[in-house]
């Protein structure tokens, strides 16, 4: 009888000792923002290249920050620097009155995007059925400056992106993204417009730039542990 009582007391003490640790282990932290950088290649579609956007790829680098609204939605600002180039001699079409035309330019873009995760993204909090990976879509507005041959031009843009996120650790994320950006201007290709003899306007005959990027982001800004945000 005494042995059974001692075993019962020992089991109760062990349960009390391990309960706080179990609660702490299961209660993963959540964060408000992430900050990161991505690198990859850039592409161009316009008067000098109307077929393959990555026919003459350039280097692209991006820095960005997200505000994590919840496990599905985020707001993101991104600054991108990239090189673009093109050469009409690679294609069969010729410009009226011209033989061939080539250019190189550097662009700097700043975007604000809304981002939607297809799956509830995160680690821990199993009651929310969070996933360590998710595909996502993004749409936004922005602006771009392009410099070529000593001239600079600017235009409004609409970036459209699709990507994939994977949570390497609680606060560290691996990202891969493809982004196509509509430019409401026709001077990414060397500050020349109407190369085809067709008058450009705000929508028609404008240039596009694109990029494929891989990067890492780090989350910060711990949320209140007793007032979790809602999905």
pLDDT in tens, 52-96: 888 889 999 999 999 999 999 999 999 999 999 888 777 666 666
Q: Is residue 46 part of a domain?
A: yes
Element (H, E) at 55: none
Please state the φ and ψ torsions of residue 15, each to the nearest 5 degrees.
-65, -45
Against a cut of 0.85, is the pTM above it?
A: no
Q: Is residue 106 part of a domain?
A: yes
How many whole angstroms separate alpha carbon 197 and alpha carbon 200?
Answer: 9
What is the span of the domain harbouring residue 61? 34-222
Q: Is residue 48 part of a domain?
A: yes
Count how many domains the chain has: 1
How many whole angstroms separate alpha carbon 231 and alpha carbon 223?
Answer: 14
**Please, where are the H alpha helices in the chain?**
2-26
Number of Cβ within 10 Å of residue 113's Cβ equals 22
Q: Is residue 136 part of a domain?
A: yes
Residue 186 is predicted with a pLDDT of: 81
What's 68's domain CATH number?
Answer: 2.40.160.20
213, 176 contact by CB (below 8 A): yes
Q: Is residue 24 part of a domain?
A: no
Q: Is residue 129 part of a domain?
A: yes
Q: Is residue 17 part of a domain?
A: no
Q: Is residue 18 part of a domain?
A: no
Which regions of the chain are under pLDDT 70? 1-28, 91-99, 125-127, 191-205, 225-231
Residue 19 is predicted with a pLDDT of: 46
């Amino acid at each position: 009888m005494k042995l059974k009582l001692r075993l019962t007391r020992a089991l109760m003490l062990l349960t009390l000792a391990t309960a706080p640790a179990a609660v702490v282990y299961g209660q993963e932290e959540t964060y408000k923002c992430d900050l990161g950088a991505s690198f990859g290649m850039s592409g161009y579609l316009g008067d000098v290249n109307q077929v393959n956007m990555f026919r003459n790829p350039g280097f692209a680098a991006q820095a960005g920050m997200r505000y994590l609204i919840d496990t599905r939605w985020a707001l993101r600002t991104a600054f991108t620097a990239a090189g673009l180039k093109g050469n009409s001699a690679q294609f069969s079409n010729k410009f009226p009155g011209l033989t061939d035309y080539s250019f190189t330019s550097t662009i700097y873009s700043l975007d604000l995007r809304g981002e939607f995760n297809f799956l509830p993204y995160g680690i821990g909090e199993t009651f929310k059925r969070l996933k360590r990976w998710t595909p996502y879509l993004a749409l936004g507005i922005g602006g771009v400056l392009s410099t070529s041959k000593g001239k600079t031009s600017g235009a409004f843009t609409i970036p459209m992106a699709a990507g994939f996120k994977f949570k390497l650790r609680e606060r560290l994320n691996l990202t891969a993204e493809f982004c196509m950006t509509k430019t409401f201007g026709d001077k990414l290709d060397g500050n020349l417009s109407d190369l085809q003899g067709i008058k450009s306007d705000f929508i028609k005959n404008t240039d596009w730039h694109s990029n494929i990027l891989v990067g890492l982001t780090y989350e910060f800004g711990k949320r209140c542990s007793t007032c979790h945000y809602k999905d």
